[in-house]
Chain A
Amino acid sequence: MAATRRLALFLCTLLMVSRDLANGGAAPSPATVTADPGHSTGGGQEAATNSSEGNHGATGGHETAPVTTLPIVTWKWAHVSTPYLVALWVLVSWICKLIIEANHHVTNVIPESALLICFGFILGGIIWGADKVQTFKLNPTVFFFYLLPQIILDTGYSMPNKLFFGNMGAILVYAVIGTCWNAASLGLSLWGCHQGGAMGDLDIGLLQYLLFGSLIAAVDPVAVIAVFEQVHVNEVLFILVFGESLLNDGVTVVLFNVFDAFVSLGGARINAVEIIKGIISFFVVAFGGSLLGLVFGLLISLLTKVTQKVKIIEPAFVFVLGYLSYLTAEMLSLSSILSITFCGVSCQKYINANMAESSVSTVRYVMKVFANGSETIIFVFLGISAIDTEIWVWNTGFILLTLFFIFVYRIIGVFFLTWILNRYRLVPVEFIDQVIMSYGGLRGAVAYGLATLLNESKIKEKNLMICTTLLVVYFTVILQGITMKPLVNWLKVKKAAVSELTLIEKLQSKVFDHMLVAIEDISGQIGHNYMRDKWNQFEERWMTRILMKKSVRKSRDCVFKVFHQLNLKDAMSYVAEGERRGSLEFVRNESAFIDFKKKFVDDCSGAMPDITACMSDDYSAMSSMSRIDQVPSVSLEMHEQNMKGVRETEDINTHHLLQQHLYKGRKQHRHRYSRSHFNVNKDENEVQEIFQRTMRNRLESFKSAKMGVSPPKKISKHTKKDQQQKVPNGKSTENGKRYFSGDEDFQFPEGDASGFAASDGSHPFPMTYRAGAGIENPAYIPDLDPMAAEIPPWLAEYDAGPVAPSQRAQLRLPWTPSDLGRLAPLRISTRSNDSFAQADAPAAQQKDDEPPTPSKRDGRNM
């Protein structure tokens, strides 16, 4: 609470500052431009106005003596004023949101959007109090070009496609017919009342009324989503309201433009031809916009097919092209909102599949950041805009009647359309859902934006319309928003089931799909399922082939995807568990050990392979940033490869403490700066390696000095070997080869190497070092390498060092998190032999020069 208050205080200060800056900036900026050389106007003046400005003012004081002496620093408010104010306002709005979110018990009762508007009132009041004029308003250009697109793009992109297209018919009916109905009925009724004398003396004609009706007809997605997301209504109701609000925004803008054209044309010149043209234009604009959006969506999909080379700006393409689709539609006077909506809807599937996982989550996240950010700004400014005497023109009749008619016609429209729709719907929209739908007709910023677009020369009562629109927005967002939740609870609206992700549900829903199609085929009707199936086939055959990367196309399957996600989740909880118990060793060295286990105890169906599965997923999650060729639904091959890559570098590192640091480092994404790559600390391994090598050398020299034994040559090889091992997956082969070419004097027989290369089933590596550490593996015992005997016992001890914890880990195994038991054993491939051999037998590797290269290549290729 105290924190909140402090925040509020800070906010106020900030606001004062910004107001003063604006004040100072707006007034004296021309002065500074014109009378710059003469006197120090800007800075000094401001310093005088506000104490909080003091320090700035002081620095500003030095400012203006450009001719006489070189200024060290200058005060250039005018230079930065616009972007500065923008940034400041963005900050202020977001802090408002922060404050609101901090008070959770309030947002439970009053929706966030309503609170933001109220904050807007306060901020507007402060500005008003200071300036006596409303300096900041939501102007239509800013709104339509910079605030709205990202919100619509986000909603389109995160649209649940199946649900959306499944209810497309109903949504279209509500969005098109419903909106036209709302606009026409409101316009006509208001006009009728005007004629009847309910509003006194107003200079508004029928066309203007219709124009007003059209601008206020649309349910606003921003407001609706903000409320409905908090209420968690069932998904059909949600998609109906949401889809409707999204599409009818487009429709209402089109309608608005048509009527606007009619108004400018003037009543007298409108004849049947013009009306027909208007209707045609309506459809052309709406469908043209949607089509344009689809084209852009496909363009994005195509582009993301080839952007893996520029992974770091890959996500940006989505935003730029999405925005371009908006602007292009605007340029062609098509519906820009529909365009960007369908752009998002059409591209989501393909870009999610084409782009690397990290890029996909970036897109998702940034999308949300933008959308949420501008949503916040919009609401705050909706509030701020209200505190302005200019726009407030009160006309009781007009305003109250508008409110009344909007409410009533929405109800009538919804019930009538639903009644028609229910005759054709499989699952009828229930009465209660209809009530919520009609009550959920919140108006929002789009209406306000359109109202401010009105041309004052043509529409005399623009201010009245703006003020009415604002009132409608406040009324619906605040009052209906607040009462929505109790209403939903009171009417016991079916809420969305919070369902866990389970494989069987996914599988079953697929089964249902196939079943319904089959039944429709058998009963010989062309129904909804039939169409969907045909579409899926078409998509599979053409769209996917053209728009998706080949590698992705092969490896996607939704059941498997769920499986992957579940594993990932378990892996995360496993890691969390490991960390909670303070034992990173437990988590880390387990992997090596388990892998060991996995190889030899193939068919062990207990917890062990489960953990391996878990670990591999975990590693893939962690190292996904650094993956080279990435598949969104990461196939298990990828995991193993990854795991191998990780283990390869890790297991050689013998220093435990450091390893722990390495582990943490990876988690914290401690990476070396690079402009074009976001690689998570691959480089750190090199540091490790150097350190390790040094330590080893020291130890050896120490030992040899002490014991009088000269270290075997092989040990010195080891470091080189290490290095070769160390090279990260991607570029290792060449390096490794080059390295080895200089390594002619190697002392080991070729046979050993070939033995390794051929070792799929048999394991020729001397595991004796490990065996010394207590891991019993009968497979190795008969296979003693002749070289093993040469190794001095202390070296064996040394090498065995890293393995020791895995023994401990073995003891701990029974305490693995309980849900791990649910993990199914992962695929066990022959490759795991390679990976095992490489990772788990550092000592073995050092003796054997050829194998790593081929085996690594193996792993990569698979």
Chain B
Amino acid sequence: LAKSCPGQETVTLYLRGVALRGRRPRPAPPSTSPPPASTSHPIKQEDNLTETRLVSHSQITRLYSRFTSLDKGENGTLSREDFQRIPELAINPLGDRIINAFFPEGEDQVNFRGFMRILAHFRPIEDNEKKSVAVSEPLNSRTNKLLFAFRLYDLDRDDKISREELLQVLRMMVGVNISDDQLGSIADRTIQEADTNGDNSISFNEFIKVLEKVDVEQKMSIRFLH
């Protein structure tokens, strides 16, 4: 996978990015997305992107170039295969789960907007955001970050992590040296830690509550390069 030097990118691909953005037919994001922006106009598109909280323009262009380099089909969208070509993801225990998270339910293509929307979850929270009362909750708020993490477990989207779902994740995370029985008891105990209403599964509220003390803002943020 070709990774071009970021230094060059910012200058050259900035132009390229804008040019591409002009001509690329971009399908409207799926219904899950917030206020449907007019997708036809490139400028508005960009405004919307900055609104979805990836502030700097250079970050957007950098990520856009990344997006296009991932996009082997060159159709403006990424498929699962595109993601799976990233070699590091193949050895990431949660790689497939994270790839899945990029695809809204029922879709198997993701456009740049959707791509950015997912990445926006990982943007660190900045001071001024904490104070300003946003109209809609930004994607990188604590709750949204946690929701993203929660969705990694919750495959059937019933807003509950069942024992089986937890077991699946555990199985991905731990080595083969732990037997199924041990894993089962770990899962049971984990659920017991979080479960407050006794339904033997973890709801999102319980999830938030049990991770109350974890510094999610910090642990689920990365610095996107400029």
User: Footprint of B on A, CB under 8 Å?
Assistant: 424, 426-428, 497, 499, 502-505, 507-512, 514-525, 527-530, 533, 537, 554-555, 557, 559-560, 563, 566, 613, 635-636, 821-829
Contacts and interface: CB of A to CB of B under 8 A. Distances in A.
A516 B182 contact: no
Given A504-B193, A505-B211, A829-B181, 19 more contacts: A427-B217, A503-B186, A504-B194, A508-B149, A508-B211, A511-B149, A512-B149, A522-B83, A522-B98, A523-B119, A524-B3, A525-B6, A527-B225, A528-B223, A563-B182, A613-B185, A636-B182, A824-B187, A826-B185
A508 B193 CA distance: 13
A533 B188 CA distance: 29
Nearest to B146: A508
Given A511-B149, A518-B94, A822-B192, A554 B177 contact: yes
Contact of A517 (B70, B88, B194): B88
A521 B192 CA distance: 34
Given A515-B149, A517-B92, A527 B222 contact: yes
Contact of B186 (A505, A510, A563): A563
A520 B186 CA distance: 29
A827 B94 contact: no
Contacts of A508: 149, 211, 214
B103 interface: no
B190 A519 contact: no
B179 interface: yes
B224 interface: yes
Interface centre among A524, A559, A566 (most CB of B within 10 A): A524
B194 A516 contact: no
Given A504-B211, A559-B170, A511 B119 contact: no
B66 A523 contact: yes
B135 interface: no
A516 B222 contact: yes
Given A426-B221, A514-B93, A826-B185, A507 B177 contact: no
Contacts of B213: 497, 499, 505
B89 interface: yes
A518 to B, nearest CB: 4
A521 B221 contact: no
B15 interface: no
Contacts of A521: 86, 88-89, 92
27 contacts: A424-B223, A426-B221, A427-B124, A427-B217, A504-B210, A505-B210, A514-B94, A514-B173, A515-B98, A518-B94, A518-B95, A519-B122, A523-B63, A524-B70, A525-B6, A527-B222, A537-B91, A555-B177, A557-B178, A559-B173, A560-B182, A560-B186, A563-B189, A822-B193, A825-B184, A827-B185, A829-B181
B174 A559 contact: yes
A505 B93 contact: no
A560 B95 CA distance: 21
A557 B218 contact: no
A495 to B, nearest CB: 12
B189 A518 contact: no
A560 B178 contact: yes
A825 B180 CA distance: 12
B139 interface: no
A491 to B, nearest CB: 17
For the complex of A and B, 10 pairs with smallest distance between CB atoms: A824-B185, A824-B188, A827-B181, A524-B66, A521-B88, A824-B189, A518-B98, A514-B94, A503-B190, A512-B219
B218 A426 contact: yes
Contacts of B89: 518, 521-522
Contacts of A522: 66, 70, 83, 86, 89, 98, 102, 119
Contacts of A520: 222
Contacts of B119: 519, 522-523
A636 B179 CA distance: 10
Contacts, number: 158
A811 to B, nearest CB: 25
A533 B91 CA distance: 11
A520 B224 CA distance: 8
A557 B66 CA distance: 35
A523 B221 contact: no
Contacts of A529: 222
A635 B173 CA distance: 17
Given A515-B98, A519-B98, A566 B189 contact: yes
Interface string B62-99: 11001001100000000000010010110111110010
Nearest to A518: B98
A508 B63 CA distance: 27
B152 interface: yes
Nearest to B6: A525
B220 interface: yes
A518 B92 contact: yes
Nearest to A566: B189
B83 A510 contact: no
Nearest to A605: B188
A511 B190 contact: no
A267 B63 CA distance: 56
Contacts of B170: 507, 559
A522 B98 CA distance: 10
Contacts of B224: 523, 525
B175 interface: yes
Contacts of A525: 6, 62, 66, 224-225
A86 to B, nearest CB: 46
Contacts of B152: 511, 515
Contact of B189 (A527, A557, A822): A822
A823 B191 CA distance: 11
A54 B51 CA distance: 88
A542 to B, nearest CB: 16
Nearest to A553: B177
Given A504-B190, A515-B149, A509 B66 contact: no
Contacts of A524: 3, 66, 69-70
Contacts of B86: 521-522
A508 B216 CA distance: 10
B134 to A, nearest CB: 20
B169 interface: yes
B40 to A, nearest CB: 26
Contacts of B102: 522
Contacts of B184: 824-825
A67 B6 CA distance: 91
B2 to A, nearest CB: 10
Given A426-B124, A426-B218, A519-B98, A503 B193 contact: yes
Nearest to A234: B215
Nearest to B153: A511
A101 B71 CA distance: 66
A424 B190 CA distance: 36
Nearest to B161: A504
Nearest to B102: A522
Contacts of A509: 214, 219
Interface in B109-134: 119, 122, 124, 127
A692 B169 CA distance: 52
Contacts of A426: 124, 218, 221-223
Nearest to A829: B181
Contacts of A828: 181
B196 to A, nearest CB: 13
Contacts of B178: 557, 560
B66 A511 contact: no
Contacts of B69: 524
A855 B223 CA distance: 57
Contacts of B182: 560, 563, 636, 826-827
A824 B122 CA distance: 34
A524 B169 CA distance: 25
Interface string B32-64: 000000000000000000000000000000110
Nearest to A498: B213
Contacts of A428: 127
A507 B192 contact: no
A845 B4 CA distance: 73
